[in-house]
Chain A
Amino acid sequence: KAGVTQTPRYLIKTRGQQVTLSCSPISGHRSVSWYQQTPGQGLQFLFEYFSETQRNKGNFPGRFSGRQFSNSRSEMNVSTLELGDSALYLCASSSRDRPLTVAYNEQFFGPGTRLTVL
């Protein structure tokens, strides 16, 4: 099976612009989680989508949003970019079959999208 893919791999934007990042999960996986990785804050959870619905959200401002499509592909959007949004954005998918299950299924990570805000 192909792994998690993320596009684009690199992006350069300027302050005030908006950006959309894409994630294709492993075939058959319905859960997609997004994380932000920075040297200062480490890896922080952004949100999780399951069956096109956001199931959990981290402590990020409303400028960060996402969605999931019927084929489980997911996008995240950041509006009104700030310098502090420069980061590696990681997507992970898992084979959880129910959105509210307490069971954990391993998350498989993609290579990430490196966003630089100038």
Chain B
Amino acid sequence: AQSVSQHNHHVILSEAASLELGCNYSYGGTVNLFWYVQYPGQHLQLLLKYFSGDPLVKGIKGFEAEFIKSKFSFNLRKPSVQWSDTAEYFCAVITPQVGQGGKLIFGQGTELSVKP
């Protein structure tokens, strides 16, 4: 079965520090990859997604992620975090197979705390 692993459960950074959150998935075939963010008290929102093409994808709020197929990884990065980036971040995959389009498989989540 497909699974997603996020390496860090809780990350604490100071403002202006750089961020990298790790995500690995286990599935040998084609996958669609996503990062979602859940700000305190708010809905899950899509940060960015990768389907195909350029493995470096840019999302909202200055976030980007790089898909490395050989490492089954999709790490999230931001060069300089802000206090407002404090949130929980989830990596997710969908396997583009018939009937699987509505099933996101999530990692455990990484809680990011940014100190002002």
Contacts and interface: CB of A to CB of B under 8 A. Distances in A.
B71 interface: no
B82 interface: no
Interface in B65-100: 90, 92, 94, 96-100
Contacts of B100: 56, 102
A31 to B, nearest CB: 5
Given A102-B98, A106-B49, 16 more contacts: A43-B92, A43-B109, A55-B99, A55-B102, A58-B103, A94-B102, A101-B101, A102-B96, A102-B100, A103-B101, A104-B49, A104-B94, A109-B43, A111-B42, A111-B43, A112-B43
Contact of B43 (A35, A55, A102, A110): A110
Given A102-B97, A103-B96, A104-B32, A45 B105 contact: yes
B35 interface: no
The SS class assigned to the B binding surface is loop
B77 to A, nearest CB: 21
Interface of B: 32, 42-46, 49, 51, 90, 92, 94, 96-109
A3 B105 CA distance: 22
A73 interface: no
A45 B108 contact: no
Nearest to A56: B103
Contact of B99 (A35, A45, A56, A105): A56
B31 to A, nearest CB: 10
A90 interface: yes
Contacts of A35: 104, 106
Contacts of B109: 42-43
Contacts of B46: 106-107
